[in-house]
Structure formats: structure tokens, C-alpha cells
Amino acid sequence: MPDETTGARRWLRPLATGLALLVAILLVGYLVASYAVYDTLAAVSGECHERDAGDTPQRFGIEGMDEDAVAAYAMPAPLDVELRSRDARMPDLTLRAWWIPGARADGPAVILVHGWKTCRRDDNILLPAGMLHRHGLGVLLLDQRDHGDSDDEDGRFAGGSEEYLDVLGAWDWLVAQGVPEERIGILGMSFGAATSVIAGGEEAGVRAVWADSSFADIGEAARAFLVHEGYPEVLEPGAQLMARLVGGDDLAAKSPLGAMPRYAGRPFAIVHGAADDFLPWRFAAELRAAAEAGGVDLREYWIVPDAGHARSVIEEPEAYEQRLVAFFAGALGAP
């Protein structure tokens, strides 16, 4: 009679092999899908949105706003600036920006930081810049690495974990121009807001930050993106793994939420659209809770009804201008 143990082994071996093969196929499929998600999230072309490609501080358009109303925010021709990131790994990385001085050389100045896959020509950057400038504040409109006219590093967005050093390079440039540290603030939009929050957390000299439509944590932001695009949330850890393996980026190394305790005593503003379906406004609530727990001087918390992602400044321009100018004038001093 055949040995029962031997018989069992005979059918167990192909079963184990089949299971191992299935696991391998699932793992490979997961990694391939994770790479696709990472590539979609991270890959940037450096080009601005087509609608913004020809816009400048002197002349820009905004869909849904009257031409004459937009013209009221036109600015003088800017100074084209080249500056260096604070990233010691990239000493030759050239960043480009527009500098439009304010009413006084030693007056307040604000760095404006655009979002993901866009640039300084975006209407949600030019419009608040015009709001600030017409009230006497200087504005520095920065193109982050891999975006707009700035140099490419690797063509991939690192979730703010590297780009915050570009924002600090812009801050260094303003200080070198003679703008007092206590008179420099930052305004960030969308992923640029997250980058700005991280930057201010790393540099205590940043006096004030206005964060519009920021995420709180990159993992949550990635999951929100997956839901928005119809992908399963389970791909988020795989996408972060691919960021490490392919891009060499630890996306979770820095986060706005982690930066909040370092803002204790400094002026801070949180703005978010209630109808944001890309980065939901719950992220603003998370940042607010962290700010209150950390002793941050939270002077503005504004959830704008019916406003979509990074569109509050477009939907409510009059209220936005009033709040924005009051915040920076109060935080940085009168122009």
C-alpha cells in the first residue's frame, strides 16, 4: 500500500506551488499598480496649466471673473530672479521667481508658493499676489523645482519633503535683499501650502504662514487622491514604497501636521474650501486641532462654503482680500 504521508506530500506540493505562484502574481500586480499610482502622483512635466501659460503679473485672466475686476489686481513688471534652494545636495539647482517690491524697501514681503503640477502663473497665485501688492506688500512668486521655469531635479514631486528647501531658499534670498526676517511671510496653495507649512516649521525666522487648501499628512493626502481618482486606498503604502525605491524620496519624512508644534506663538492662517473634493476640508480641521494643541497663534480659520480645491480666492475675492491683507499686515507690520 502507498504510504499515506507520501501521498499527502504529492498533492500538497503542487498546492503550495500554486499558492506561492498566486501570491507572487498578486504581489507583482500590487507593485505594478503601486508604481502606476506613484508615477501619476509624482511625475511632473514642468509645464504650467495651458490656461495660465501666458499669464504674467501685469496681465492675467481668471475664468468666471470680469476682465475689469481682474485688471484691478495687475502688478508692475516683475524683476526676474534666480536663486538657490537651501538643499545642500543640489548646490547647482537654479530656482526662478518674480520679485515685485512693495511700497518700502524694508516693508513686509510674502513668498507665494504654487501647488502640484502648476506654477507661479496660476491664477490662484497671481490673484492673491495682486491683492497683497496693491496694499503695499512686496511679493515673491516662486517656481518650485521641477515646476515652471525652475530647474528640473528628477521630474518628480516629493510631497514637500524636498521642496520645502526651495521655499527656504526664497526666504534666504529676501533676507539677503535686506527684508527684515520679522517682516517675511509665506502664502501657499494646495500642495504648495503643505510645503510652506513644512518650511516654516523648519525655519523659526519665518514670521507667518497662510495655508490655503493644505493636506495634513501625505499618507492621508495620497488616500484622498486615490479615492478621487477611483483607485483602491490599499495602494497608498505601495505608492510610498515606490517613492523610496524609484524616486529615492521619503514622502512621510516631513508633514504639515508634524510641523505645527514648531509654530507656537507665531501667526498662522488656515483656509479651505468646503466643497474641496480633492483634499477634503477635514485636513484643515486636523491642522486646526494641532495648532490649538501646540499653542500656535491661529488668527484665521476660514472654511469657505461652496469653494472647490484652492478656489476660495476666486469664489470670494473681496472677503479673501480683506482677510488676507489684515492677516499679513497684522503679522508682519504695516507696509
Per-residue model confidence as pLDDT tens digits over 58-91 = 999 998 888 999 999 999 999 999 999 999 999 9
Domain total for the chain? 2
Residue of 51, 96, 94, 64 whose CA lies nearest to 307: 64
How many angstroms separate the CA atoms of 230 and 58, rounded? 39
The verdict on 105 and 143 lying in the same domain is yes
The verdict on 5 and 79 lying in the same domain is no
Give the pLDDT mean for 316-334: 97
pLDDT tens digits, one per residue of 132-188 = 999 999 999 999 999 999 998 888 888 889 999 999 999 999 999 999 999 999 999
pLDDT tens digits, one per residue of 299-315 = 999 999 999 999 999 99
How many angstroms separate the CA atoms of 122 and 118, rounded? 7
How many angstroms separate the CA atoms of 59 and 80, rounded? 16
Last residue of a domain, one of 249, 264, 297: 249
Rounded to 5 degrees, φ, ψ at 196 are -65, -40
The verdict on 16 and 150 lying in the same domain is no
Torsion of CA 154, 156, 161, 163, to 10 degrees: 70
The verdict on 129 and 243 lying in the same domain is no
The verdict on 25 and 51 lying in the same domain is no
What pLDDT sits at residue 38? 79
Do 134 and 73 meet the contact criterion of CB atoms below 8 Å apart?
yes
Last residue of a domain, one of 208, 228, 249: 249
**pLDDT beyond 90 at 8:** no
Q: Based on C-alpha coordinates, what's the Rg of the chain?
A: 23
pLDDT tens digits, one per residue of 250-260 = 878 899 999 99
Name 267's Cβ contacts closer than 8 Å, sequence gap at least 6: 207, 208, 209, 297, 299, 327, 330, 331
Q: Tell how far CA 27 is from the center of its chain.
A: 31
The answer, as to whether pTM is greater than 0.85, is yes
Residue of 113, 173, 99 whose CA lies nearest to 148: 113
The verdict on 17 and 146 lying in the same domain is no
The verdict on 106 and 197 lying in the same domain is yes
Q: Range of 34's domain? A: 1-42+218-249
Burial 177-189 (b: 16+ CB within 10 A, else e): eebbeebbbbbbb
Helix (H) or strand (E) holding 172: helix 164-176
